[in-house]
Amino acid sequence: MELTIDGKKIQAQPGQSLLTLVKRLGLEGVTLKDKPLAAKIAGEVFTLNYVPLRQQEAEADRPSMRRAMAASGGEVRLLRYGDAAGKECYIRTAQFVLFLALRQLWPETTAKMNCTLGASVYFSVSGADGFSVSALKERVAQLVSQDIPLIRRRVPLQQAVDRFTKDGQNDKARLLSWRTVDYFDEYAYGDFADYYYGEMAPSTGYLTVWEILPADGGFVFVYPDDLNPEACAKVPPMPNFFSVFTEGERWGQLMECQTVADLNDLTNSGRIRELIRVNEALHEKRFSQVADMVCQRGAKAVLLAGPSSSGKTTSANRLATQLRVHGKKPVLMSLDDYYIDRDKIAPGPDGKLDLEHINTIDCALFRADMAALLEGGEVELPTFNFLTGKREWRGHKLRLGADSVIIVEGLHGLNPAMLPENVDKSLIFRLYVSPLLPLNLDNHNRIPTSYLRLLRRIVRDYETRGASVQHTLSMWESVQRGERRWIFPYQENADVIFNSSTLYELAVLKKHIFPLLTAVQPEDPCYDEVRNIVKILNYIQQADVDDEIPPTSLVREFIGGNTFYR
């Protein structure tokens, strides 16, 4: 059988793994940047331990081609750290090594993967007498040097549940009780077994670039730098972000919903309706507190920013409502109206327009308008016509009154380039909105914030714009690249970070999104991204409780029925 791996042709023999073929072609690489971590075949991601051509047991002289290989026509694309799926493989490998090291050193410990902090992730550790980062680093280095093969195996589901229960990992046993098939895939070494819902590198030896730093209650694992994978990324202090995520975990404890199994119990018992009411009340209370802070400072403008599908528009409207309670007269503005005409934007190196670049905004005009308004002047506000791609002037003039407060929503709201010079900075309040979901699958598997935002965006794009799952997914990597460059570096500049996640919404979103996802076929280029979404949703019980969700809820911005848009 002839395969084409990264453009190079090779004859594959039955029983040979992709890793063997990669080495034969001299494609194994030396540095992390060049080293293949996994492979993509016909829309799916596979471990390099995958065997493309199996020898049939019944007819030893007749090899069988695997389904994905047949669908791809023998085309294989290798994934490296610079590919999103390759990076995920690297991170899962790190998870396995970290939890294995913790088990070997402190068998009675409970370790939890909590939250991402830039290019690192925070792990909490409890019940580990004598825990030390130096000892953990030494054991991780030993496991990496042993180059332990990471081979996935399939075991009966009940066997896995019984073993995790006996091992004291009740969080994982409870999660698996919601699994709908009678088997479970896992990676194992010695008496340790775990799974991270996706492929890993072929062996522990691939984990070549990493750092472990001490942190309150645990440690921080630092990933390689995206642009220079041979060095660890820099991790600036993020006290505000960490504080808000910790607050979210307290909310989960308060509402007895810290894992997917907890959410499923609430759904089945009907108590998810109470969860919705409490979660929405907490949001309303937080919006009220932000309005209090704006008024106490005497701010005349709120710059509101956040990544895609964070609920920025609904947040701006709900904050405006709370400011009205204080007797203020809020004025809603959008940074989108300050876009430069499309034909005046220079394309990037790939020949495409990067519409998330700061240079697509007329920052000078915005600063001038903001300065004039804060100083009591009158300005004519622009309106951007997205159909023509040009800025228009429609005679919309604005002068702030004594009780006026501008709320400006936009991607670049926290960028220092938006702040007017020679204006009292106390007049400007900066608010960052992002859904920092504290819900875990289990202690070893968190649900990334970006996962929730992607689900929100798929549902919204389909419901309001008629966009397919494939269309939304095709843009998502570019969207995230823009966020990493233009939003995340400035989130700590905010006066307040607002957690716009709700603990109940995955159960609600499943009803809207599952039929769209399951219609995507394995041959589709985005199939692996869809499969990764489905892997998590398969554990979540669908909740038909849309009637309980208030018309001003952040969730309504995505599933429809938000009264702010009527």
**Using one digit for the tens of pLDDT, what is the confidence trace for 123-169?**
999 988 899 999 999 999 999 999 999 999 999 999 999 999 998 89
Q: Taking residues 474-479, what's their average pLDDT? A: 87
CA 373 to chain centre: 37
**Is there a single domain that holds both residue 446 and residue 506?**
yes
59, 80, 101 — which closes off a domain? 80
Place of tokens 């939250």: 115
Going through 287-403 in order, the beta strands assigned E by DSSP cover 301-305, 329-334, 378-380, 383-385, 390-392, 397-399
Q: Is residue 343 part of a domain?
A: no
**Is there a single domain that holds both residue 55 and residue 91?**
no
435 class by beta-carbon count within 10 Å (0-12 exposed, 13-18 middle, 19+ buried): buried
* Residues 228, 241 contacting (CB under 8 angstroms): no
**Is there a single domain that holds both residue 455 and residue 370?**
yes
Sign of CA dihedral 224, 225, 230, 231: negative
* pLDDT cut 90: percent of the chain above it: 75
* Residues 32, 230 contacting (CB under 8 angstroms): yes
Residue 168: φ, ψ to 5°? 85, 5
> Is the pLDDT higher at 466 or at 335?
335
Asked whether residue 1 carries a pLDDT value surpassing 80, the answer given is: no
Q: What is the per-residue pLDDT across 268-312, written as a single tens digit (0 to 9) for each?
A: 999 999 999 999 999 999 999 999 999 999 999 999 999 999 999
pLDDT (0 to 100) of residue 56: 61
Q: What is the per-residue pLDDT across 53-103, written as a single tens digit (0 to 9) for each?
A: 876 644 444 455 677 888 888 899 999 999 999 999 999 999 999 999 999
Sign of CA dihedral 393, 394, 395, 396: negative
Angle subtended at Cα 46 by Cα 41 and Cα 51, rounded to the nearest 5 degrees? 90
Q: Is residue 229 part of a domain?
A: no
**Is there a single domain that holds both residue 311 and residue 180?**
no
Q: How far is CA 76 from CA 28, 48, 294, in A?
A: 14, 11, 55
**Is there a single domain that holds both residue 194 and residue 247?**
no
pLDDT (0 to 100) of residue 53: 84
Asked whether residue 458 carries a pLDDT value surpassing 50, the answer given is: yes
Angle in degrees, 0-180, between the axes of helices 469-486 and 449-465, rounded to the nearest 10: 130
Q: Taking residues 525-536, what's their average pLDDT? A: 89
- CB count within 10 Å of CB 24 equals 15
Q: Taking residues 210-234, what's their average pLDDT? A: 95
Tokens standing for residue 14: 């039955």
Place of tokens 């009678």: 182
Average pLDDT, the chain: 92
pLDDT band at 215, cuts 50/70/90? very high
- Of 344, 325, 354, 419, the closest CA to residue 384 belongs to 344
- Of 227, 222, 226, the closest CA to residue 238 belongs to 222
Angle in degrees, 0-180, between the axes of helices 505-518 and 260-269, rounded to the nearest 10: 100
Q: Is residue 269 part of a domain?
A: yes
Distance from C-alpha of 268 to C-alpha of 281, rounded to nearest angstrom: 22
Distance from C-alpha of 46 to C-alpha of 155, rounded to nearest angstrom: 19
Query: What DSSP string runs through 455-506?
Result: HHHHHHHHHHH---HHHHHHHHHHHHHHHHHHTGGGGGG-SEEEE---TTHH
Q: Which pairing describes strands 378-380 and 397-399: parallel, antiparallel, or unpaired? A: antiparallel
518 class by beta-carbon count within 10 Å (0-12 exposed, 13-18 middle, 19+ buried): exposed
Q: What is the per-residue pLDDT across 357-377, written as a single tens digit (0 to 9) for each?
A: 888 999 999 999 999 999 999
**Is there a single domain that holds both residue 531 and residue 411?**
yes
Q: Is residue 231 part of a domain?
A: no
80, 111, 133 — which closes off a domain? 80
pLDDT (0 to 100) of residue 59: 44
Asked whether residue 180 carries a pLDDT value surpassing 60, the answer given is: yes
- Which CATH number do you get for residue 151? 3.30.980.10
Residue 157's domain comprises 86-222
Q: Is residue 345 part of a domain?
A: no
**Is there a single domain that holds both residue 45 and residue 24?**
yes
Q: Is residue 342 part of a domain?
A: no
Q: Is residue 234 part of a domain?
A: no
pLDDT (0 to 100) of residue 65: 61
Task: In the chain, count H helices and then E strands.
Answer: 16, 25
**Is there a single domain that holds both residue 7 and residue 63?**
yes
Number of compact structural domains in the chain: 3
- CB count within 10 Å of CB 142 equals 13
Asked whether residue 547 carries a pLDDT value surpassing 70, the answer given is: yes
**Is there a single domain that holds both residue 54 and residue 97?**
no
* Residues 47, 153 contacting (CB under 8 angstroms): no
Q: Taking residues 188-212, what's their average pLDDT? A: 94
Secondary structure (3-state) at 331: strand
pLDDT (0 to 100) of residue 57: 46
pLDDT (0 to 100) of residue 20: 96
Tokens standing for residue 360: 């697509």
**Is there a single domain that holds both residue 182 and residue 136?**
yes
pLDDT (0 to 100) of residue 8: 95
Asked whether residue 117 carries a pLDDT value surpassing 90, the answer given is: no
pLDDT (0 to 100) of residue 64: 55
| Residues forming beta bridges with residue 460, ordered by sequence position | none
**Is there a single domain that holds both residue 22 and residue 95?**
no
Q: Is residue 387 part of a domain?
A: no
61, 80, 99 — which closes off a domain? 80
- The kind and range of the H/E element at 392 are strand 390-392
Sign of CA dihedral 316, 322, 323, 329: positive
Asked whether residue 348 carries a pLDDT value surpassing 80, the answer given is: no
* pLDDT cut 70: percent of the chain above it: 98
**Is there a single domain that holds both residue 202 and residue 275?**
no
